[in-house]
Amino acid sequence: MPHSPNDGAEPKQDNSAGPDASGADLLAAAGYSQTTNTEFYSPIPDGYQKGRHRYLVVLGTVMSGLGKGIFSSSMAKLIKDKGLTVAPIKLEGYLNIDSGTLNPFRHGEVFVLDDGTECDMDLGTYERMLDQDLSKRNFMTAGQVYRDILERERHGGYLGRDVQMIPHVTGEVKRKLRELAMHGDGTKPADIVFVEVGGTVGDYENGFYIEALRELAFEEGPGTVCFVALTYIIEPQALGEQKSKAAQLGVRRVLETGIQPHILACRAQSRITPVVQQKLAMFSNVPLNRVFSMHDRSSIYSIPEDMRQEGLDREILSVLDLHGKVDMAHEDRAREIWTRFVRKLTAPRARHIRLGLTGKYAALRDAYASIEKCVEHCSTHLETNIEIQWIESTDITEDNAPSRLADLDAVIVPGGFGARGVEGKISCVRFCRENLVPYLGICLGFQVAVIEFARNVMGLASANSTEFEPGGPDVVISELPDQKRIEQLGGTMRLGGQDVAVKPGTLAHHLFGGRDLVRQRFRHRYEVEPDYIERIEQAGLMFSGRHPDHPIMQVLELPCTDPTGRGVEHPFFIAAQFHPELTGRPIRPQPLFMGLLAAAIQRKYPDAELPPRWLRQAEGVS
């Protein structure tokens, strides 16, 4: 079957084609043929080698939110551990260009990649599980697909042909998937591209993705695409048994699209029974040993090893004919490291501390998914149970803060936008500063720490931010007018990875391992007003992390001398304008979180033996 849509000629990709290029040039730049009288109208990027790459596709049935990303990232980790190169991608059906404008109450956390892409929280799961930085290539929305097609059409890129869902929209999806396969992890082409389709089969908005993937399997040939259907096994409490009918009907919807699943992943409260497993295997034509029980576990980080023990990774390698690429020595080393982490994760612990998370979206834990995972990583390495108490900041006032926060061993004030709940966050900061409770502020938590200090230490009672009180008398936080020119991001939001210059001898410098320059991820548009920086530092608040070239403050901390005048050192008070939770990994826990929790442990358990790396009392910290 022909895979190049012209008469045997390889389509050329001219990346220099601009808005004034001819329709033929634009078509070639996108990998499309200039010939339109064929049904094999599928874009193939220049240099793409058929058979070089494999694809694993995860589709959802019955209901969304079952854990397609968890399954996909867990399997991707197993494959990466074998020495293969993996590249995940999340396909979203919504028309937004990215996740940046989505309300956390509706869609959970907005995860930010190093290149500034605002994306779905599932990409955070991939980065943590794979210990691998992703980019905009790993995230696709329907809005992106339609935008690119319409821009190409407006410039004559389809040579007058009527632009249709098939072949043009499905073709655009295949083109992007093939480009990702060629790009791989940024260093090598991908052996396997892991494709997660958002939503469930049968949703209108993701239908074109599923059709594109069926076409991709047809074009790439047998043994190149492995389809996984994730379904749900209902276990009604009143019946006391598992029911598989909804799962069977969900799989039927997959079959109706022309796709035969190779693997079934079954979400359930408890391990699926042999009877249910047999029913699903018979109904779906999936071999019994490829029906995987994805039941509830204490941590998602135990899933890769469970998959390995059940041989699911070997089954996928068999479907994709990749056994010959496995590096067994690499797999043994990677498995030992991961097993050691999981063993500590599940081991009993004698210590217990309470961590308060005072946020504006505390009613929805997914809004702070990365923070929760960072805490889980640190609790494992510090061998301490961390109980997170979710506190709605709108409920906190100056009067009730002491009673609401009194039982906490540490506090995190996370990011957010808008005025709602801000005064409650400021009250939390004041309580932590004055009562020597370990404190970590993130983004808005950095800004409210500056505001609180200005009000209650410097005596600027009206101190505020232009976000909450434009034109106020003492605006210590403002949107810098030259920010767009400085960062050249095309807007007022600073997004993605930026360098932070860290001051030697500070707590931040100690926690970051003595590095003078660290790279962190940002998502904000407000900064410390430059006119107040010197005055704030003279009053006792230190800016220990700054932009390397511009007066943009990025880390603050209280030095050993407490500015309240009591002469008592604060055990841990630090805040970052960036989002440290976005770079926390299971094997490499985030330094600011480790410092916070180590300080809380030491405060509650003075005799606890903790790694000096995370303790403020270590030599050299001022």
The last residue of one of the domains, among 306, 338, 370, is: 338
pLDDT of res. 12: 39
pLDDT of res. 10: 36
Determine contact, residues 284/292, Cβ cutoff 8 Å. no
The two three-digit tokens of residue 173, written as one number:
């999806």
* Cα–Cα dist 502/554, whole Å: 9
Q: 3-state DSSP call for residue 294? A: strand
Determine contact, residues 545/515, Cβ cutoff 8 Å. no
- CATH number, position 406: 3.40.50.880
pLDDT of res. 160: 78
pLDDT of res. 9: 35
Strand order in the sheet with 291-295: 139-141, 86-92, 192-197, 54-60, 225-232, 263-268, 291-295
Within this chain, do residues 201 and 245 fall inside the same structural domain, yes or no? yes
pLDDT of res. 18: 52
Residue 10 lies in a domain: no
Q: Is the alpha carbon torsion for 598, 604, 610, 612 positive or negative? A: positive
- State residue 433 phi and psi, 5-degree precision: -65, -45
The two three-digit tokens of residue 260, written as one number:
């035969």
Residue 446 lies in a domain: yes
How many distinct structural domains can be found in the chain? Answer: 2
- CATH number, position 321: 3.40.50.300
Determine contact, residues 474/456, Cβ cutoff 8 Å. no
Q: 3-state DSSP call for residue 104? A: helix
Within this chain, do residues 222 and 287 fall inside the same structural domain, yes or no? yes
Q: What is the number of alpha carbons within 13 Å of residue 238 lying toward its C-beta?
A: 0
* Cα–Cα dist 138/160, whole Å: 31
* Cα–Cα dist 617/571, whole Å: 9
Q: What is the 3-state secondary structure (H, E, C) of 94-157?
A: CCCCCCCCCCHHHHCCCEECCCCCEECCHHHHHHHHHCCCCCHHHEEEHHHHHHHHHHHHHCCC
For the entire predicted model, the pTM comes to: 0.89
| Spans of the chain, pLDDT less than 70 | 1-40, 480-492, 560-568, 617-622
Which residues sit opposite 209 in a β-bridge?
A: none
Within this chain, do residues 301 and 403 fall inside the same structural domain, yes or no? no
Sole residue written with tokens 């991908």: 190
The residue ranges of DSSP E strands in 202-249, in sequence order, are 225-232
pLDDT of res. 38: 63
Residue type, 392: E
Angle at 15 between CA 25 and CA 151, to 5 degrees: 65
Sole residue written with tokens 């009562």: 435
Within this chain, do residues 303 and 377 fall inside the same structural domain, yes or no? no
Residue 11 lies in a domain: no
* Cα–Cα dist 524/495, whole Å: 7
Residue 43 lies in a domain: no
* Cα–Cα dist 154/147, whole Å: 11
Residues with Cβ within 8 Å of residue 258, at least 6 apart in sequence: 214
pLDDT of res. 621: 64
The two three-digit tokens of residue 360, written as one number:
């504006």
Residues with catalytic roles: 443, 579, 581
pLDDT tens per residue, range 67-104? 999 999 999 999 999 999 999 999 999 999 999 888 87
Q: What is the 3-state secondary structure (H, E, C) of 85-96?
A: CEEEEEEECCCC
Closest to 229 (Cα-Cα) out of 58, 56, 76, 55:
58
Q: 3-state DSSP call for residue 553? A: strand
What is the span of the domain harbouring residue 195? 48-338
Residue 24 lies in a domain: no
Residues with Cβ within 8 Å of residue 18, at least 6 apart in sequence: none
Within this chain, do residues 366 and 330 fall inside the same structural domain, yes or no? no
- State residue 267 phi and psi, 5-degree precision: -75, 140
Within this chain, do residues 292 and 390 fall inside the same structural domain, yes or no? no
Residue 192 lies in a domain: yes
The last residue of one of the domains, among 310, 338, 366, is: 338
Within this chain, do residues 322 and 439 fall inside the same structural domain, yes or no? no
Provide the 10 A C-beta neighbour count for residue 276: 22
Within this chain, do residues 316 and 367 fall inside the same structural domain, yes or no? no
Within this chain, do residues 164 and 266 fall inside the same structural domain, yes or no? yes
Provide the 10 A C-beta neighbour count for residue 186: 12
Determine contact, residues 494/524, Cβ cutoff 8 Å. yes
The last residue of one of the domains, among 338, 373, 388, is: 338
Residue 431 lies in a domain: yes
Which residues sit opposite 474 in a β-bridge?
A: 463
Within this chain, do residues 579 and 539 fall inside the same structural domain, yes or no? yes
* Cα–Cα dist 414/426, whole Å: 12
* Cα–Cα dist 400/250, whole Å: 50
Within this chain, do residues 213 and 333 fall inside the same structural domain, yes or no? yes
pLDDT of res. 5: 37
- State residue 581 phi and psi, 5-degree precision: -65, -20
* Cα–Cα dist 596/371, whole Å: 13
> CA distances (Å), 402 to each of 363, 396, 455, 533, in order?
21, 10, 18, 30
Within this chain, do residues 321 and 359 fall inside the same structural domain, yes or no? no
pLDDT of res. 40: 66
The residue ranges of DSSP E strands in 510-594, in sequence order, are 517-524, 527-528, 542-546, 553-557, 573-576
* Cα–Cα dist 293/265, whole Å: 6
519-535 per-residue burial string, b: 16 or more CB within 10 A, e: under 16: ebbbbbbbbbbeebbee
Give the torsion through C-alpha atoms of 444, 449, 455, 460, to 10 deg.
-70
Residue 356 lies in a domain: yes
Determine contact, residues 413/425, Cβ cutoff 8 Å. yes
Closest to 50 (Cα-Cα) out of 178, 172, 188:
178
> CA distances (Å), 199 to each of 66, 110, 254, 265, in order?
10, 17, 13, 15
- State residue 572 phi and psi, 5-degree precision: -170, 115
